[in-house]
Amino acid sequence: MVEIGCVVLINRVPNGETFHQYLNPERPMPPEAERVHGLSDAFLADKPLFSDIVDAFLAFVGDDAIVAHNAPFDFGFLNAELARHGRSPLARERMIDTREIAKARFPGAKASLDALCTRFNIDRSARVKHGACWMRSCWQPSIWN
């Protein structure tokens, strides 16, 4: 895991509280992963380890639901790191998967983030790579009403 980005939503509206952290994955970055997110070994070398931020992350998310696009993917990484550090996994019941919502709401249509941005006219011109930072800046809760 190399990045965590969270936004607090109250009634589907961001309240200004965020949690963002790049992480040193403690292993070399596979080239295919770097092509997706653009984060190099050199960039991540001085970032904190998951063990350094786990308490702050868990305090931030508390017992709240966690919304993510393709949430099972993210939960897999988070729970692997939590297990590695002797912590309880995040319960799957807390997971709200916007990819599954999109597939149910728009049957047969593409449900990728890019497809949804196109569908809802969300400007992604500043997006170069996939990452948690970009998701923080483009959240538009009205599309899920």
Active site residues per annotation: 130
Q: Which tens digits make up the pLDDT trace of 4-58?
A: 988 888 888 888 898 999 999 999 999 888 887 888 999 999 999 999 999 999 9
Domain hosting residue 20, numbered range:
3-144
How many domains is the chain partitioned into structurally? 1
CB environment 73-86: b (16+ within 10 A), e (fewer): ebbeebbebbeeee
Query: What per-residue confidence (pLDDT) applies to 36?
Result: 79
Q: Which tens digits make up the pLDDT trace of 56-109?
A: 999 999 999 998 888 999 899 999 999 999 999 999 999 999 899 999 999 999
For residue 113, name the pLDDT band (cuts at 50, 70, 90): confident
CATH number of the domain encompassing residue 16:
3.30.420.10
